[in-house]
Amino acid sequence: MSQDNAYLLGHADQEMERLKLQAACLEGLTRRLIRECGIEAGMVVADFGSGAGDVAMLVAETVGEGGKVIGVDAEPRAVARARAQAAGLSQVTFEVGSDSDLARLGPFDAVICRCVLVHQPDPAATLRRFAAAVRRGGVVACMEPAVHVDSITLPEVELIRAFGDSISKFMRAALPSPDIAGRIIPCFIDAGLPAPKVLWEAIVPSLDLRLLQLGVLTYQTFLPLMQRFGAVDPRVGDPATLYDRLLDAAVAARAQSVLMPYASAWARLADPGTPPFASASEA
């Protein structure tokens, strides 16, 4: 992220563990974005806002030993963790830096990010800096949570609703761009990029208890900030017993949830003279 825009949630051990679990839960969506956006073997790719390096390592699988991936993050602790996690992958390196450093580290065949624009007060400016680091014909790709969209549980379960609403209320109040997923196309255009292709996907948890674990860990990690923002619904109760109570409530109601969706968007840098509303496939 930009050096002047600190990551809201910090980099304490619990938040780093939450991010690792989130990466595992979002792996399928992330792999699809990597495939669909056109990243392929031999490319040189930057993963911006790389954190512990999970996206960078997925990209490394695709570019192979003949390619190169540079993960960039402003937090030295996250970069140190990423380097340890990626030890042995010769095509992956990590740098401490901001989006302004990408042009110096490039040029790249693609720049990709996940859950980054939602933290930016000016996402179009961030995309412009991505584009400045990409070769003509290269790719800019991102995946962002639709924080402005409620998750759905049927039948409605009071505890699940109170839990989800508390997190959503906090994120909508605290994040600089909570609705960026819903305006990702004009954001690309404002950045001078072609209109992107966009996938809009939501996970239905079924029996994947990692997603429940992620939700509870997210609540517990966010709790001090949620209290500060007045976002905690008292019906949620004791966070220490929340996992068991949520699981029991969902099983008892035979409830099915559709989680907050993600927008995956990508565009290829246009040749001079391409109309601004050309599709990514035309650019």
* pLDDT score of 8: 58
Give the whole-angstrom CA distance, residue 4 versus residue 12.
Answer: 19
Domain residue limits, the chain: 13-268
pLDDT in tens, 80-116: 989 888 888 899 999 999 999 999 999 999 999 999 9
Q: Write the single-letter amino acid at 122.
A: D
Name the pTM for this structure.
0.89
Crossing angle of helices 13-25 and 209-228, in 10° steps, is 140
pLDDT in tens, 193-210: 999 999 999 999 877 789
pLDDT in tens, 231-245: 999 999 999 999 999
pLDDT in tens, 129-175: 999 999 999 999 999 999 999 999 999 999 999 999 999 999 999 99
Asked if 117 and 174 touch (Cβ cutoff 8 Å), the reply is no
Q: Which of 163, 202, 166 is nearest to 181 (CA)?
A: 202
* pLDDT score of 86: 84
* pLDDT score of 3: 39
pLDDT grade for 283, boundaries at 50, 70 and 90: very low
More confident: 21 or 34? 34
Written out in words, the top-level CATH class of the domain with range 13-268 is alpha beta
